[in-house]
Structure 1
Amino acid sequence: MSAETATGPTEDQVEILEYNFNKVDKHPDSTTLCLIAAEAGLSEEETQKWFKQRLAKWRRSEGLPSECRSVTD
Structure 2
Amino acid sequence: MLIFLGCYRRRLEERAGTMSAETASGPTEDQVEILEYNFNKVDKHPDSTTLCLIAAEAGPFRGGDPKWFKQRLAKWRRSEGLPSECRSVTD
**TM-score, normalization by structure 2:** 0.72
Any stretches of 5+ residues in structure 2 without a counterpart? 1-18
Any stretches of 5+ residues in structure 1 without a counterpart? none
Structure 1 stretches of at least 4 aligned residues deviating more than 2 Å after TM superposition: 2-7
Q: Is the counterpart of residue 62 in structure 1 residue 89 in structure 2?
A: no
Tell me if structure 1 keeps the 8 A contact 2:23–2:60: no
The structure whose Rg is larger is: 2
**Residue-by-residue CA offset, 1:32-70 (whole Å, 9 max, x unaligned):** 011101100026x60011100000000000000001111
- Residue correspondences, number: 72
Other-structure match for 1:33? 51
Other-structure match for 2:3? none
More helix by share: 2
Distance 2:35 2:53 in 1: 11
**TM-score, normalization by structure 1:** 0.88
Tell me if structure 1 keeps the 8 A contact 2:22–2:28: yes
- The percentage of counterpart residues that share the same residue type is 90
